[in-house]
Structure 1
Amino acid sequence: MKLMPKLSNLILCTLLVIITAIPLTAQEKTLTWDELAEQYECPEWFRDAKFGIWFHWGPQAAPEQGGGWYARHMYMQDVGRQTFGKMAYPYHLMAYGHPSEFGFKDVINTWKAENFDAEALINFSKENGAKYIVALANHHDHFDLFDSSYHPWNSVNVGPKKDIIGEFETATRNAGLKFGVTSHDDRFLNWWKPAFGSDKDGKYAGVPYDARLTKADGKGTWWEGLDPKDLYGPAPEDRTPEIIEDIKKNWLKRHIELVDKYKPDLLYNDGFNFTYGEYGKEVTRKLYNNSLSENGKIDAVMLLKRKAKGTVNEVESGGSNTLREYPWQSEITFTDWFYKKDRHLTHNARTILEMLIEAVSKNGNLLLSMELNPDGTIPHEIKKSVVIVGDWLKINGEAIYGTRPWKVFGDGKSVRGEEVETVEGELRNATANQKHGEHFNQRTTATPAFANDEVRFTTKADDFYIIVMNPKGGEFVIPSFGKSSEVSPGTLKGLTQLYDGRKVSFKQSNKGLTINMPAVNGDSYPVVLKAKFKK
């Protein structure tokens, strides 16, 4: 029996719709956060990369002085215990005028990033050892550095008139590196409260700062059509639960767009918990589902300052006190996160290498914030240090990239808890800082040098690396490698300097491994010894 032509065509069309809908439905199915967290494992690319460079840069870089929280502290005559921002208010008066007349919204307008060259910055980072790049998407100042559809105060509309994140992302992909973004926006409501105040004394006592201005006040100004409330948030007395909920929903829209538009491999929320609770989880869910769809596996990283299932732990301005089972990341910066000429550098090449080696030996990565001048160029003294780090990695990267930790992370006086005599002749307990938390326990330019017997260990397949942190010519002992040690890797067959293949003499006994380091001229950066053990 033949079907009527019209009926036949109708059935055929119906079948085509059903068939084509099957893969579409499967493709659109996304996993819940709990399902994603249950199967999550830190990606191998992140574990192998070890060293990343972070461009923590934005309009707060425009003022030359005043600390990393300039936008907040410029509204505070007294910063209390936050002394890193003590210059912000007086500097602002001198450079820009009173914050009732020239506020942070106006500082944003002065920031033009006129020499910003994402390609040059990424190529410099890659040349000097970075395996992934991270860029600041927004800070506590509530200013988006990307083409945001849901927030008018962004770098495309105001200031540079550039999609900063977009340019970084394109240059990073072209360089063949992984790309990440960071968001620090969750605290902006409380962070901005001083902007709604006024001077307590002096000529402008009682005159409201510019956060009290309205959209109507902008008529005839450069910011006409923009609403200060969208930047600073509503006045504290107007923050009803409903308004705060709307702010959270707006945060969600902005960050879903950030994840969808720029497809980062890594996302860091600057907080100990997911930003705004379930909203933060939803953004992470989107990040992971996107990665799962594109890669067939979750190949993305979500960083939090607390240890949470489905994420990787981040330690700010510090490092782990122990060898960790799960991968983690240390983050450090040169001054106060935004480059300021009135602040000394917290780090140099020596301390960056020490923090990197410490992290890698304990199953972690190091993310270095390379602060930029307001115009987008690298300050000379920062560039100099990063080049030295890059030169060291060109020679010794074999002991860093793609490695895994050993049974213990290292040996030496600080590991054993012994007192260390510094160059200045002072005595300190090398483990004193380790009694405190891990955040902000970093080694800095003010930290006394390591003892000569301080070593860290990394491994790669059958290769074993002993990294001597502060090498001096002469003998020193590593008790961990004693033949009777509980963690002994076995009998040592050979020991060479990685950078020149020169053999290093040693003696191994039950009590330890005695290494006779070749002479070192003056101060030296860490030296890597490649060891072969008989199994």
Structure 2
Amino acid sequence: KWWEGYDPRLLYGIDLREYESVATAALSGWSPPKAGVFSRHLEYANWLAKQWALLMMDVTENYTPDFIYTDGTYEGPFTGRGTGTCYKCNAMQTVIADYYNRQLKTKGKIDGFSIVKFRHPTNGTVNTAEFDFPDSINASQPWIREAPVGDWFYASNFTYDSGSMIRFIIEAIARDGNVTLNIPLRPDGSIEDGCVEMLEKVGKWMKINGEAVYGSKAWKTLGEGEIINGKLKTLPGGGLGSKQANFRFDAQDIRFTLGKNGKLYAFMMNVPSAGQTVVVNSLADGKGYLASKIKSVKLLGYKDSIQWKMSSDGLQVTYPEYANLATAAVLCIAIND
């Protein structure tokens, strides 16, 4: 049987619904019970906390993860409150200390980070939230926006759309954030053909435009384009599906990043038509964002030079006829020092 060799405690033999509010919380979908510590099962809770910590440290020792992530909307697991209910102990602190100490021992420096998923300023960890984006640039602390393709678990008939993933990435990095995206695996660990195709398209786009993404940070303004209800038109929140795939941007919907090479990148959230003139209004003299003149403009993924000029409205770029780019075309703008 599949359970042979398992510790019986791994089979969820204890009914925790005897605690106040647990059953109600379960019916509500995800809200944690208010019971706090499961005081009538302290021995079991102690074992569970140790088991969790040992499993996490095993991963750190044998797989050297880039980061450690704990879900929830509180400071972490095993705090005795909120999503850290069940037991109060130092399991989380032990795991994170082990993670950083192993990095120091093997690499001589801290080359990773920890994520505790809650939504107020953090100290020593990276903040994260699901689905949507802040209305403006947020450079107050490192943060990540996360979303699943479809959902956090596998189901049939998900929408696999590379454009949704790419635009989700752009929306986050233009606001000085980072991105994690959940890819649905079948129960046997395999990936659907449509999902593979989607990832290959994202990889192809990143190969062309990665210099505008990796190591970048937000520029002086996150972007420009259509305003809806007083806010910049933005990719809808939620799991990536048909709503995001069918959401329409124009080439005049633009986002910015500043690359680690010091160059400015302008992401056109859709590919212009051949011969179309795109105007980057944020680069007009009257906006006050440019401290000096533009030296050169090129289109990533296009080997020839492109037509561009400055006007009172901003930077005017004529999209070439045979660029053959997909999803979001990116301008690389060099500015005189």
**Is it true that 1:457 corresponds to 2:256 in the alignment?**
yes
Instruction: State how far apart, in whole Å, the 2-side matches of 1:433 and 1:442 are.
Output: 15
Alignment of 1:24-35 (within 5 A): none
Partner of 2:35: none
Tell me if structure 1 keeps the 8 A contact 2:184–2:191.
Answer: yes
Q: Work out the CA distance in 1 between the residues paired with 2:289 and 2:185.
A: 44
Distance 1:253 1:516, change over 3 A: same
Offset of 1:514 from its aligned partner? 2.9
Match of 2:212 in 1: 399
CA separation of 1:487/1:241 partners in 2, compared to 1, >3 Å: closer, same or farther? farther
User: Aligned-pair distance for 1:395?
Assistant: 1.9
Report the CA distance shift for 1:406/1:523 in structure 2 as closer, same or farther (over 3 A): closer
Per the alignment, residue 360 of structure 1 pairs with: 173
Residue correspondence of structure 1 range 507-526 to structure 2 within 5 A: 507-519=309-321, 524-526=326-328
The normalised TM-score by structure 2 is: 0.76
Secondary structure at the counterpart of residue 446 of structure 1: helix
Paired residue type of 1:257: D
Q: Which residue of 2 aligns with 1:390?
A: 203
Alignment of structure 1 residues 127-526 onto 2, 5 Å? 158=2, 223=3, 226=6, 228-236=8-16, 237=18, 239=38, 240=40, 242-243=42-43, 244-272=45-73, 273-277=75-79, 278-306=90-118, 307-325=121-139, 326-341=141-156, 343-345=157-159, 347-413=160-226, 418-419=227-228, 431=232, 440-441=237-238, 444-447=241-244, 448-458=247-257, 459-473=259-273, 474-519=276-321, 524-526=326-328
Does the 8 Å CA contact 2:222/2:255 hold for their aligned counterparts?
yes
- Partners in 1 of 2:10 and 2:298 — Cα distance? 61
Describe the shift of the 1:441–1:477 C-alpha distance in structure 2 as closer, same or farther (beyond 3 A): farther
Q: Given residue 295 of structure 1, which amino acid in structure 2 is its aligned partner? A: K
Number of residue-to-residue matches in the alignment: 297
Does the CA contact (< 8 Å) of 1:492 and 1:532 recur in 2? yes
Identity %: 28
Is this contact kept in 1: 2:147–2:240, CA < 8 A? Answer: no
Contact 2:309 2:317 in 1 (8 A): yes
1:524 Cα deviation (Å)?
Answer: 4.2
Report if the CA contact (8 A) 2:301-2:325 is conserved: no
SS of 1:375's equivalent in the other structure is: coil
Q: Within 1, Cα distance between the matches of 2:11 and 2:63?
A: 23
Give, in angstroms, the shift of residue 432 of structure 1: 8.1
Q: What's the counterpart of residue 162 of structure 1?
A: none
Q: Which shows bigger deviation, 320-329 or 495-504?
A: 320-329
SS at match of 1:260: helix
Contact kept, 8 Å, 2:148 with 2:239, in 1: the verdict is: no
Kindly name which structure, 1 or 2, has the bigger radius of gyration based on alpha carbons.
1
**Contact preservation (8 Å) 2:149, 2:241:** no
1:386 aligned counterpart, secondary structure: helix
Contact residue 312 and residue 329 of structure 1 kept, 8 A? yes
Structure 1 SS opposite 2:332? strand
Q: Which residue does the alignment assign to 1:175?
A: none
Q: Distance in 2 between matches of 1:247 and 1:328?
A: 30
- Cα-Cα RMSD: 3.1
Residue 28 of structure 2 aligns with which residue?
none
The verdict on how the C-alpha distance between 1:444 and 1:400 changes in structure 2, with shifts beyond 3 A counting, is: same
**Does the CA-based 8 Å contact 1:466-1:530 persist in structure 2?**
yes
Shift of 1:378: 1.9
Shift in Å at residue 431 of structure 1?
A: 4.8
Distance 2:230 2:136 in 1: 17
Query: Could you tell me how far 1:322 is from its partner in structure 2?
Result: 3.0
Partner residue, 2:30? none
Structure 1: unaligned runs, 5 residues or longer = 1-108, 110-157, 159-222, 420-427
Query: Residues 489 and 530 from structure 1, CA distance in 2 versus in 1: closer, same or farther, beyond 3 angstroms?
Result: farther
Q: Which runs of 5+ in 2 are unaligned?
A: 20-37, 80-89
Q: Note closer, same or farther for the CA distance 1:300–1:400 as it changes in structure 2 (3 Å cut).
A: same
